[in-house]
Amino acid sequence: MWRVLRPDSVAVLGDELIRSSLKRYFAVMENKLPARFQVAKRVPVRTDLGSETKKLWRVHEQALKRFRKLLADIDSGRTKIEELEKPELSLLDLKIELSRRILESCHFCEWKCGVNRKAGERGACGVGERSRVASEFMHYGEEPELVPSYTIFFSGCTFKCCFCQNWDISQFPENGVETSPRTLSSLVSVHRREGARNVNWVGGDPTPNIHDILAALNVCEENVPSVWNSNMYLSLEGMKLLFATQDVYLTDFKYGNNRCALRYSKVPRYWEVVTRNHRLAFADAELIIRHLVLPEHIECCTKPILKWIADNLGATVRVNIMNQYRPCYEAKKYEEINRRITHEEYESALRMAKKAGLKNLGT
């Protein structure tokens, strides 16, 4: 049925430019290669999980190097994942231990609240120790290469965007149903077997739930591409935990400067954090970047974002320039964004992308 509803999701299979920018994603989706988290489970780690945190991060760095080597061997056909034993302790086990420690003085994102979520404290996102799922379903509205996408919406967010379309999920972390990693994993497996091309972790934002997402991947036996659908406001440690576990970073690049980020999403140091994390994500895995065009924000946001992407990530990275902005939630308090974008604004954004040299555009 979805093939009829979204014929572009079939046509995309023959699009060479998109396939080449998401080469590994397509191979995992078609079960020709293992998902990166499945490879991370095969990387042995020799350490005592009771060691001090600094030592565990050092062990993590070394294990990441071995992960990259193993991934290259698997991708080139030199090694077959089925022939590898599951080690007693893996890179993914180590990441889960580190994530549980971060939860005690939370710094998954750049707010670095330092609260002990295990002891019931809450930080800026309001998310507790256990993840809450607001909804989950096969999503047919994503980019054609992702559809159908098994999408899990977590309650809570690290941003407070005044125009959030999902504000009932993102700004109410107590909503939804507490869901264990094992249940998440079962849901992912069932939907993969029903034809999902990937699992798509979103919210709100998935960042406050890193610990449970890693734990879910650890018990998931299904080969499924993992998609990190996020505002990318993670801390450096948060990013490191994701390395070697995600196949695609599906990023939401909103603002071209800190002033607009502070005004509309109430977050400081946006540009430094989000550009750093885009660089890290691009070095780690594959990338689809979304940019939602905001009214009156072509020069201050759209233009610098598109130029930065072309200058730093290259002309062929996949970029989706989105025109579906509508003033939701509290956007009416900000006169300049209290309307949809005009046809001219969108055309201007597309011209800017082409002028910047970007070739792999979704529109």
123 binds ligand SF4 (CB under 6 A): yes
> Which lies closer to ligand SF4 via its Cβ, residue 205 or residue 286?
205
297 binds ligand SF4 (CB under 6 A): no
313 binds ligand SF4 (CB under 6 A): no
The C-alpha atoms of residue 261 and residue 270 are separated, in whole angstroms, by 6
Closest distance of CB 119 from ligand SF4, Å: 12
Which secondary structure element, helix H or strand E, spans residue 288, and what is its range?
Answer: strand 286-292
Beta-strand pair 149-154/132-139? antiparallel
Closest distance of CB 99 from ligand SF4, Å: 11
Closest distance of CB 157 from ligand SF4, Å: 9
Tell whether omega for the bond before 148 is within 30 degrees of 0, i.e. cis: yes
List the interface residues with ligand SF4, window 206-225 (CB under 6 A).
Answer: 207-208
145 SS3 class: coil
161 binds ligand SF4 (CB under 6 A): no
201 binds ligand SF4 (CB under 6 A): no
The C-alpha atoms of residue 107 and residue 238 are separated, in whole angstroms, by 7
> Which lies closer to ligand SF4 via its Cβ, residue 210 or residue 341?
210
Instruction: Give the tokens for residue 97.
Output: 């231990």
Amino acid 95 reads K
127 binds ligand SF4 (CB under 6 A): yes
Contact, 159 vs 233, CB < 8 A?
Answer: yes
Kindly tell me which residue out of 149, 158, 200, 226 binds ligand SF4, with binding defined by CB under 6 A.
158
Instruction: Give the tokens for residue 232.
Output: 């990318």
> Which lies closer to ligand SF4 via its Cβ, residue 110 or residue 143?
110
> Which lies closer to ligand SF4 via its Cβ, residue 96 or residue 115?
115
What length does the chain have?
A: 363
Amino acid 194 reads E
Site string for ligand SF4, 92-121 (x = CB under 6 A): --------------xxxx-xxx-x------
54 SS3 class: helix
CA 203 to chain centre: 10
Binding-residue total with ligand SF4 (CB under 6 A): 15
> Which lies closer to ligand SF4 via its Cβ, residue 176 or residue 295?
176
> Which lies closer to ligand SF4 via its Cβ, residue 206 or residue 225?
206
Closest distance of CB 268 from ligand SF4, Å: 12
155 binds ligand SF4 (CB under 6 A): no
Contact, 317 vs 309, CB < 8 A?
Answer: yes
The C-alpha atoms of residue 333 and residue 327 are separated, in whole angstroms, by 10
34 binds ligand SF4 (CB under 6 A): no
> Which lies closer to ligand SF4 via its Cβ, residue 125 or residue 199?
125
User: Which letter, b or e, does each residue of 30-39 get, where b requires 16 or more Cβ atoms within 10 Å of its Cβ?
Assistant: eeebbbbbbb
The C-alpha atoms of residue 256 and residue 301 are separated, in whole angstroms, by 4
What does the binding site for ligand SF4 look like in residue numbers (CB under 6 A)?
106-109, 111-113, 115, 123-125, 127, 158, 207-208
